[in-house]
């Protein structure tokens, strides 16, 4: 295996682990937000996070199997879905903070 492939494999593995940690925190957020009925959006984000984990697994397999075309396609998809994911995070965070502030004002 070439050094660049090893680097890609290490980075993808670390990224997958970080996304797993993110899922744990998302589940904790969902549990807390069920009280103010704002957990649905966070469920969608958790789905996207799991989708990214699966993408990392496919990328790791494509690196090990040396499937260059698959690596290139997934590179493009990561940029596209990464941008969508970031936009969703910003929107959901904005709405969540608004709900929290509204709940604090009424209590």
Please write the tens of the pLDDT for every residue from 25-44: 999 999 988 876 777 888 99
Question: 103: closest CA among 33, 47, 51, 44?
Answer: 33
Mean pLDDT, 10 residues at a time, the chain of 107 residues: 93 96 94 78 92 92 92 89 94 88 82
Whether 46 contacts 21, CB under 8 Å: no
For residue 36, what pLDDT is reported? 67
Whether 89 contacts 35, CB under 8 Å: no
Question: How many structural domains are present in the chain?
Answer: 1
For residue 1, what pLDDT is reported? 86
Q: What is the CA radius of gyration of the chain?
A: 17
Distance CA 85, CA 98 (A): 20
Whether 17 contacts 57, CB under 8 Å: no
Domain that includes residue 70, residue range: 3-106
CA distances 87 to 17, 26, 69, 80, 94, Å, are 22, 16, 28, 11, 11
Distance CA 82, CA 84 (A): 5
């Amino acid at each position: 295996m070439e050094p660049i492939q090893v680097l890609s494999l290490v980075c993808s593995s670390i990224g997958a682990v970080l996304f797993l940690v993110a899922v744990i925190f998302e589940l904790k957020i969902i549990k807390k937000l069920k009280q103010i009925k704002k957990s649905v959006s966070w469920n969608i984000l958790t789905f996207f996070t799991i989708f990214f984990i699966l993408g990392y697994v496919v990328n790791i397999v494509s690196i090990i199997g040396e499937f260059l075309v698959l690596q290139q396609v997934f590179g493009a998809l990561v940029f596209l879905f990464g941008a969508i994911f970031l936009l969703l995070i910003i929107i959901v965070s904005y709405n969540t903070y608004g709900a929290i502030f509204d709940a604090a004002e009424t209590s």
